[in-house]
Amino acid sequence: MDWKRRHVLGLADFRIEEMEFVVDTARSMEEVLTRDIKKVPALRGKTVVNLFFEASTRTRTSFEIAGKRLSADVVNFSSSTSSVTKGETLLDTAKNIEAMKPNIVILRHYASGSPHFLSRFVSCSIINAGDGANEHPSQGLLDLYTILKAKGKINGLKIAIIGDILHSRVVRSDLHSLGRMGANLWLCGPATMVPKEMERTGAKVTYDIREAVKDADVVMMLRIQLERQKTAYFPSLREYSCKYGLNRAVFSLAKEDAVIMHPGPINRGVELSDELADSAQSRILNQVESGVAIRMALLYLLAGGHDAAH
Amino acid sequence: MLDGSVSGNPQIPVAAEKGGKCAMKKASRKVILDAKGMERVLSRLTHEILEKNKGAEELVLVGIMSGGVPLSKFIREKIRAIEGMDVPAGYVDITLYRDDLSRAGYQPRLKRTEIPFSIDEKKVVLVDDVLFTGRTIRAAMDALIDFGRPKNIQLAVLVDRGHRELPIRADYVGRNVPTSRNENVDVMVQGEREEWKVILREPAPAKGE
């Protein structure tokens, strides 16, 4: 297969073979990360801009390290320190950055669809690093890769995703990546946070964590977004934790070799008990590791010599 | 990784005659080496490597993906037969070190690199199928340096077809094959050893090594 894609805006239109191609490329990248000298010259002379309009440490750092491992020049641009606070529009900010001739812009923005919008006006490649509640494609790919490494396959696995499904862009990308690869997906959380319409994606919806976790191969916990607490999606954190938190007793319903995942950051003691977060079944840090390899793969694939590249 | 047994002395397959017939058509195909010839050439290369290095001590083999890998495997088995010892062997994919990455229309698929041993203070023999512009070897040396500081790096190739673009030469050459630029040298070493052969093809659309 030849990689023809110029942007990675979401996994909604990704073909299975494209996802497999990214994962295969990531496997080669992972070898680079095992060396003493963790750097290859593939993206020498390319510039990657991290354009982040929302707080992020993990994703931004992951992209930054990925770019540096490939010898790209990585520039970080975050809204709190930029002229965005002075009233500049997204398009103006992007046009200004484009004038500095980057090859790839990695965009995180609170408005769904903003990377799609930008991609129509700039000539560099765009990677969506999370847009509102829409998608987070690199997370969807790294979850796919992490599960492949843990289980050797996706097809037929029961994967339970538990938490704030409504606001989660991770879930939307995972539905595309894991769903399309044949996983048996279960979505679970309080009814206010799990829209029944999610069943149209082919996933099963339940409000009972035990039903979701029973015989699961993978249990993926989502962060309860404390900043959204004011809107009262659930009565109290304590009640949420009792009904939808994962602890040893609930997790024992899953398959014996089941693994636990979490896109981070974890609220320890809320959605996930301390004990499980640090257990041998946890693949949370493997996700972070896979993330760098997946992002290296995406940067490498997008840095090809298509016409628009500078 | 690089195991498997030395194949016997199989009879030459039909490839040689086939090449001859095709030569009548407009795209000519000529078999330069058949399986038997290849085995002789690789045996000689192995002896030369052992002679120059006075044995297999401190020796390490690194095949360049993809064509160099089966060849380095073969050489490793020969060394075992002659010296009675296994030398460490790995392989390297040079894609991330290419100097034409942003010129290609799209990014080439990555292959694997595996050098699961230290190359510090070792004599590293790089093994490749065809030596052409020398750019692949430049990239492979850059990759090796990222793995450590070898005592020296030597180069063994099955076919040297000329047209160097960099000041690089091989220490061990299987065959010198004078070619024109629009010819192609196909080294077929991915299947069974009895099927191994080297074919000279022309004319062909211009292509890298």
Q: What tens digit of pLDDT does each residue of A59-112 get?
A: 999 999 999 999 999 999 887 666 666 778 888 888 888 899 999 999 999 999
Cβ–Cβ contact B27 with A under 8 A: no
pLDDT at position B2, please?
Answer: 39
Distance CA A187, CA A204 (A): 6
Length of chain A: 310
Cβ–Cβ contact B202 with A under 8 A: no
pLDDT at position B3, please?
Answer: 39
For chain A, the residues whose C-beta falls within 8 A of a C-beta of chain B are 1-4, 21, 24-25, 27-29, 31-32, 35-37, 39-42, 45-46, 70, 300-301, 303-306, 309
Q: CA quadruple A243, A244, A247, A253: dihedral positive or negative?
A: positive
CATH architecture label of B33-202: 3-Layer(aba) Sandwich (3.40)
Instruction: Provide the 8-state DSSP code for A52.
Output: E
Q: Are residues A185 and A86 in the same domain?
A: no
pLDDT digits (tens, 9 = 90+) for A269-308: 999 999 999 999 999 999 999 999 999 999 999 997 554 4
CA distance B50 to chain A (A): 29
Strands A158-162 and B152-160: unpaired
CB < 8 Å to A68, chain B: none
Closest listed residue to residue B156, CA positions, set B86, B82, B78, B57:
B78
* B68 has pLDDT over 90: yes
Q: Are residues A143 and A174 in the same domain?
A: yes
pLDDT at position A93, please?
Answer: 85
Strands (DSSP E) along B93-164, which ranges?
Answer: 123-131, 152-160
Cβ–Cβ contact B113 with A under 8 A: yes
pLDDT at position A307, please?
Answer: 46
Q: Are residues A158 and A59 in the same domain?
A: no
Closest listed residue to residue B72, CA positions, set B61, B80, B84, B83:
B61
* B8 has pLDDT over 50: no
pLDDT at position B202, please?
Answer: 79
State the total domains in chain A: 2
CA distance A38 to chain B (A): 8
CA-nearest residue of chain A to B105?
A: A305
Q: Report yes or no on A131 lying in a domain.
A: yes
Q: What number is the average pLDDT over the span B164-178?
A: 97
Distance CA A77, CA A253 (A): 45
pLDDT at position A44, please?
Answer: 93
CA distance B18 to chain A (A): 31
pLDDT at position A103, please?
Answer: 95
Q: Report yes or no on A129 lying in a domain.
A: yes
Which residue in this structure is represented by tokens 């078999």? B31
Q: Are residues A145 and A276 in the same domain?
A: yes
pLDDT at position B16, please?
Answer: 37
Q: Which percentage of chain B shows pLDDT scores above 90? A: 76
Closest listed residue to residue A300, CA positions, set A32, A117, A10, A99:
A32
Nearest to B97 among A27, A40, A301 (CB): A40
Task: Give the CATH number of the domain where residue A240 resides.
Answer: 3.40.50.1370
Q: What's the pTM value of the predicted model, to 2 decimals?
A: 0.89
Q: Are residues A219 and A203 in the same domain?
A: yes
- The complex's ipTM? 0.84
CB < 8 Å to A29, chain B: 110
Q: Report yes or no on A276 lying in a domain.
A: yes
Q: Phi and psi of B104, rounded to 5°?
A: -65, 155
Confidence band of B12 (pLDDT split at 50, 70, 90): very low
Domain of A113, in residue numbers = 16-136+289-302
Q: Rounded mean pLDDT of chain A? A: 92
Q: CA quadruple B58, B64, B67, B70: dihedral positive or negative?
A: positive
Q: Report yes or no on A246 lying in a domain.
A: yes
pLDDT at position B24, please?
Answer: 45
Q: Rounded mean pLDDT of chain B? A: 86
Q: Report yes or no on A2 lying in a domain.
A: no
pLDDT at position A230, please?
Answer: 67
Cβ–Cβ contact B6 with A under 8 A: no
pLDDT at position A84, please?
Answer: 64
A115 Cβ neighbours under 8 A, 6+ residues apart: A7, A9, A107, A109, A126, A127, A128, A131
CA-nearest residue of chain B to A24?
A: B110
A303–B102 C-beta distance less than 8 A: yes
Q: Are residues A32 and A114 in the same domain?
A: yes
Q: Are residues A144 and A103 in the same domain?
A: no
Cβ–Cβ contact B116 with A under 8 A: no
pLDDT at position B149, please?
Answer: 96
Nearest to A37 among B96, B97, B146 (CB): B146
Q: What number is the average pLDDT over the span A125-134?
A: 96
Q: Are residues A241 and A295 in the same domain?
A: no
Confidence band of B203 (pLDDT split at 50, 70, 90): confident
pLDDT digits (tens, 9 = 90+) for B111-152: 999 999 999 999 999 999 999 999 999 999 999 999 999 999
Q: Are residues A279 and A144 in the same domain?
A: yes
Say what the alpha-carbon torsion angle A7, A5, A67, A107 is, to the nearest 10 degrees: 10
CB < 8 Å to B117, chain A: none
pLDDT digits (tens, 9 = 90+) for A162-178: 999 999 999 999 999 99
CB < 8 Å to B113, chain A: 28, 31-32
Q: Report yes or no on A119 lying in a domain.
A: yes
pLDDT at position B20, please?
Answer: 41
CA-nearest residue of chain B to A307?
A: B105
* B11 has pLDDT over 50: no
* B19 has pLDDT over 80: no
pLDDT digits (tens, 9 = 90+) for A204-253: 999 999 999 999 999 999 998 776 666 778 888 899 999 999 999 999 99
Cβ–Cβ contact B149 with A under 8 A: no
Confidence band of B107 (pLDDT split at 50, 70, 90): confident
